[in-house]
Structure 1
Amino acid sequence: MQSALLRSEVLAGTQSDAGEETNTDGLATYLLFGMGTRNYATDVSNVREIVDLAEIRPIPNAPHDVFGMIDLRSQSIPVIDLAARMQVEATPETDARIIVFEFGTPDTLRCLGIIADRVISVSEIATGNIETLTHAISGWQGDGVVGVIRSGDMQSLVLRIEHYLNAPDLPGEFDFGDG
């Protein structure tokens, strides 16, 4: 049986016209997940759902960082190797999950999945508690990383997930037709 954390259960704020989550009390909702020894966080505004790890079918001639696709309620979802794109080593655990993201407008909606070794939580974080990294590392170009969330001994890098999943070198739409 496939468990899912649906968008309605994930989204805590409201979406602005620009598609970004807004919240008047200075809180934003983040999905915290892990790959390898690192923890990451991403704003939930593009998270569609989180599902149990399912069979991933290879796609012929797909780029090296595309695992394949899953069938999710009769919709084919490409699954991207986010760890490879970020140049980190993943270590999928027994509780690994697929996080499905949605990008675009209703007319151009595109869904992509990633494998998270573990899903930690969905948490509201005070925006003032996100430490920026640009000041800490001189000359570093970390366009996809916007900061760090610290909670006790845990640190989570805050990702602009669309930077990694909508990169210019991302292949175009896949044809999943029968024929």
Structure 2
Amino acid sequence: MGISFARIAYLSLFIVVMSLTYGCASVQSRGYVSAPAWAANYTEDYVQEFWVLTESGQRTGLEGIQVSEFSRGGTSGGHMGYASVPGVGQTIKVVWRVGGHNDAEATWKTFSKDVVVKGETSNDPETGNFLIIRFFPQHEVEAEFVWEWAKPYAKSSPRVDQLFYGHRVMRQLGE
């Protein structure tokens, strides 16, 4: 029963994030959820940065940087924030900036999209919730809450994108 290096790295990161944030309630009042964001990019655009706003435009503190093109792995190489964000069924605004690796910031293009958060969360203290932000062609984006057990050999959620395990498996909007 072999376990891949990517799976070990993923679980290690997950356990670190969960241990650093243990004590935060998984589901908070007003339908907000405390969670980190992960980004999956199914485009050939390099996402320099992204952030999540409430429907009314307030910053949530959830953001990330350096999301690689699909052909280069499609995940983030930079900091992914942890914050309290609107939960499943609520609308958030995702704002992202696209530009080449060496392009001047003045040339980056900014996009934004209001999306209804889908997925499910868990209140079990032995699980962790996280929000996956997925970028698709034609400047489409979606947001999904996924939860997983915070145990090294627990079965992973089938909703977690294969990109996080080092497999370039294309996903379509709405899958």
* TM value normalised by structure 1: 0.29
Bigger helix share: 2
Larger Rg, first or second structure (1 or 2): 1
* TM value normalised by structure 2: 0.30
Bigger strand share: 1
